[in-house]
Amino acid sequence: MIVLKNLKIKGFRAYTDEQEFTFESPIVLLFGENHKGKSSTLNAIEWCLFGSRNCTGGDTGIRERINWEIPNRTLVNQDVWVELELTDEKYQNYKILRRWIRRNRDEVQVTLPNGQVLEGQEAEKELSYLIKSSFRDFLTTVYQHQEVIRSILVQEPRQRNDAIDRLLGLSDYRNILKGINEANLENALKNMNDFRNELDSKLKTAKNIREYDLKDKKERAFQRGIHQNEINQKSLIEIAKNIKEELEGVANEWGLSLDDSLKIPEHWSESSQFQELVNKEITKFRSEMPDIKEQERLNQYRLSLSGLKIEYEQLEKKLKQLKNEKEKFIKEIGDEEAINKIKDNIQKQIEEKNKELSEADAKASVISKAMEYLKLEGIDKDICPVCGKRTPDLLAHLEKEWREKYEKKVGEIKKQIDDLKTQLNDVERLEQNYKKLREDIENVEKEIKETSNKIGEILGETITTQDDPIVVLNKKLAEIQKELQILEKAVSTKQENLNEIASKVEKVQLIGDILNLEEKRAELEQIEQLPEYKQMEELIDKMSILCNDVKDIEQAIKETMREEAQNKIEKAEEVIDSYFRRITNNPLISKVRFLANEDRRTGGNLYEFRDQDGKDLLSVLSQGDLNALALAIFLGMATSESMNQSFGFIMLDDPSQSLGSQHKANLVEVLNKVLEKRMVILSTMDEELQSLINSQITKRKTKYLFSDWTPEKGPEVKKE
């Protein structure tokens, strides 16, 4: 068995400076508070023996090992190494030195008993030969990790089963099963099968749709008078030939040309193109038909004539209206000569009144000036300044005469003149109206003449003043109407011909569509026989075989894992039973049976713990009991005679996490038993456990006290 002698650590995890440990006693104790470097010491032994490749990463089954950092974070030079001195079963000394190079890369050096130093692959090989154990065996039988006990303590059965798997050293099985499960091959197979099912479903739907379309087209074809025996390529080509001949006939008759690209189809698949071109030609013929052109021309001509007729009739109506107005004017007021006479008469009256006003104004002016004179100062008011005659109270007398006689008269004359001027204006306005009426009549007569000339021009004949243009126009319009009726009949007949051709083209298209649908239906029916379909099925089979192969392998792994579990349990069951009952000391439990069965849900291992009566224990165990169970399994596996251990020591990291005082005392009792077979390296912060170990462990002890850890210096370790 391998026995530890000495350990040196430099720069590893919690350590910065070099630290040395000796293992000269049967039990080596690492005492101290949490985070002082105790676990790093145990980790250093593990790392030195198995290296970064084994100790780091999730595959270890230890969660904290994911992104696990080897070098101390504060180190500048990163000089990181661990050196172990140990002896083999022949008590020969070996020195193992592992040095950290970079992440996931370290180098090992083995110094043999004869002093020879091995390096690289040679050193790894020698080390492997020396320790004879795998990393998973080491975790099962040598190193009890804190996390395993914590996992056992959880109540969730799956996690607990996982933890017991790890305790039994079955992590590799679990990891391989996890990898197979994560590859999810079944999903790939499911996707392939889904595609095939969807394809088959689409195929069925497509067949139904084709069938429905075919039935619909055939019904339409029969309604169009196509017989079943005409639904073939030969008939389609015959009808197409006939159509082309008819179109050529129409083109010749109407002086039109047929598009050169119009070819008789050689295969039914050309029927759509043929239909398109024929319809284009029919549309062209409809618009370019000579009768249609003539119809258009005559309609345009009729429209022009009708326009002129309306224009001429409106002008005549307007002229008649103007003449009536003129006649009424003359009748009521008179003609231009009569108006002039009235105007002259009013002007004469105005002249006379102006004269009368002038005279009255002269006398009034003299009297007015005399009154102004008499109003002056120092003037004899009774002597007339005009005639010199003395008249008493002359000014008053003059004022009365001016007021009564001249002021009234002048006002009257002025009013008469204004009235006469108003009359004159009215007459002049009438004169203007008369002139306007006369001009309007002249203009309308001119327009009538011009319109008449236009009618003559459009009819191509001369319209004299002796002719009635309206009658001439009506006669011409009646002729045009007759011509249009004849044309309409002709056009209708020709359109009918073209409609018949169009109907035949539709037949060609219907036959083409039916032949196309029949071919597509046949294609669908052939899909399952296609090489692509067969290739698809072959590949699905291939994937199915791969899935089945992997399933069989999974089954083999699970069976092997269960057998290995059962085998290990069988070998260590007695010791586990003994340790568990010693630690728990429960009077109700006289026997613990540890069973590994198949978990029918996952196919993994399902562990059961039953008492002497076969009753389930897990459901009644306390946290302390579960902690004891984890320790019992570990210690049982580690110390069972039949497990062929190559290591002469075990490492316990914080074993009393959930143990009560009595459990702890019992554990120390068990440790005394274990110490008979193995050296124990125990790390704990539990003062009660420390005290119990100090007082109850009968073997010699080496104690290392961990305190005052600082990032720069690492832990302060004192040996006692």
Footprint of other proteins on this chain (CB under 8 A)? 57-59, 172-173, 175-176, 178-180, 182-183, 185, 188, 192, 195, 199, 202-203, 206, 523-524, 527, 530, 532-533, 535-536, 539-540, 542-543, 546, 549-550, 552-553, 555-557, 559-560, 563-564
Residue 90: CB minimum distance to other proteins, A: 26
Quick one: angle between helices 157-167 and 623-639, nearest 10? 20
Q: Which is nearer to other proteins, 277 or 543 (CB)?
A: 543
Compute the distance between CA of residue 39 and CA of residue 42 in angstroms, rounded to an integer. Answer: 5
Nearer to other proteins, 338 or 553 (CB): 553
For residues 179 and 307, which CB has a smaller minimum distance to other proteins in the complex? 179
Instruction: Of 309, 342, 661, give the one whose Cα is nearest residue 454.
Output: 309
Query: Based on CB atoms, which residue is closest to other proteins, 603 or 648?
Result: 603
SS3 per-residue string spanning 649-711: EEEEECCCCCCCHHHHHHHHHHHHHHCCCCEEEEEECCHHHHHHHHHHCCCCEEEEEEEEEEC
Q: How far is the CB of 215 from other proteins (least distance, A)?
A: 20
**What is the nearest approach in angstroms of other proteins to the Cβ of residue 20?**
34
Burial class (CB in 10 A: 0-12, 13-18, 19+), 302: middle
Q: How many CB atoms lie within 10 A of CB 51?
A: 21
Cα–Cα distance, 614 to 563 (Å, whole number): 21
Q: Which two tokens stand for residue 98?
A: 């592992």
As measured in angstroms, the least distance from the Cβ of 193 to other proteins is 11
In the complex, minimum distance from the CB of residue 194 to other proteins, in angstroms, rounded to a whole number:
11
To other proteins, the closest distance from the beta carbon of 196 in angstroms equals 9
Residues in the chain: 720
| Least CB distance to other proteins at residue 562 (A) | 10
Q: What tokens appear for 531 in the block?
A: 């090489």
- Choice between 173 and 580, CB closer to other proteins: 173
What is the distance between the alpha carbons of residues 346 and 204, in angstroms, rounded to a whole number?
A: 113
- Which DSSP helix (H) or strand (E) runs through 608? strand 605-610
The minimum distance between CB 101 and other proteins, in angstroms, equals: 19
| Least Cβ distance, residue 513 to other proteins (angstroms) | 19
Q: How far is the CB of 545 from other proteins (least distance, A)?
A: 8
Taking the least distance from each CB to other proteins, the nearer of 195 and 222 is: 195
- What tokens does 40 get? 């790093």
- Contact present, 12 and 711 (Cβ < 8 Å): no
What does R_g of the chain's alpha carbons equal in angstroms? Answer: 66
Angle subtended at Cα 677 by Cα 625 and Cα 54, rounded to the nearest 5 degrees: 75
Q: Which is nearer to other proteins, 536 or 665 (CB)?
A: 536
- Please give the Cα distance from 141 to 633 (Å, whole number): 10
CA-to-CA distance for 428 and 340, rounded, in angstroms? Answer: 9
Of residues 182 and 260, the one with the C-beta less far from other proteins? 182
What's the burial of 698, exposed, middle or buried (CB within 10 Å: 0-12/13-18/19+)? exposed
The residue (of 313 and 564) whose beta carbon lies closer to other proteins is: 564
Distance, CA of 112 to CA of 10 (rounded, Å):
22
CA–CA separation, 472 and 493 (whole Å): 33
Q: Collapse the DSSP code of 160 into the 3-class scheme (helix H, G, I; strand E, B; otherwise coil) and give the result.
A: helix
Tokens, residue 704 = 């290392």
Nearest to other proteins of 296, 549 (CB atom): 549
Write down the least CB distance from residue 165 to other proteins, Å. 13
CB of 38 to other proteins, least distance (A): 28
- What residues pair up with 383 in beta bridges, in sequence order? 390
Q: Which is nearer to other proteins, 135 or 709 (CB)?
A: 135
Amino acid at 705: L
Nearer to other proteins by Cβ, of 171 and 627: the residue is 171
In degrees to the nearest 10, what's the CA dihedral of 441, 442, 447, 449?
A: 110
**What DSSP assignment string belongs to 116-127?**
-EEEHHHHHHHH
Strand order in the sheet with 143-144: 143-144, 649-653, 679-684, 27-32, 701-710, 714-719
User: Distance between alpha carbon 273 and the CA centroid of its chain, in Å?
Assistant: 40
Nearer to other proteins among residue 183 and residue 588 (C-beta): 183
Shortest separation between residue 232's beta carbon and other proteins, angstroms: 25
Are the C-beta atoms of 315 and 448 separated by less than 8 Å?
yes
Nearest approach, Cβ of residue 589 and other proteins (Å): 34
Q: How far is the CB of 561 from other proteins (least distance, A)?
A: 9
Give the three-state DSSP class for 71: strand
Three-class secondary structure of residue 94 per DSSP: strand
Q: How far is the CB of 522 from other proteins (least distance, A)?
A: 12
Instruction: Give whichever of 175 and 235 is closer to other proteins, judged by the CB atom.
Output: 175
- Rounded to whole angstroms, how far apart are CA atoms 581 and 558? 30
Nearest CB to other proteins, comparing residues 179 and 249? 179
Give the count of beta carbons closer than 10 Å to the beta carbon of residue 720: 9
Query: What is the distance in angstroms between the CA of the first residue and the CA of the last residue of the chain?
Result: 27
Residue among 3 and 550 whose Cβ is closer to other proteins: 550
Give the Cα separation of 607 and 597 in Å (integer): 6
347 token code pair: 């002007």
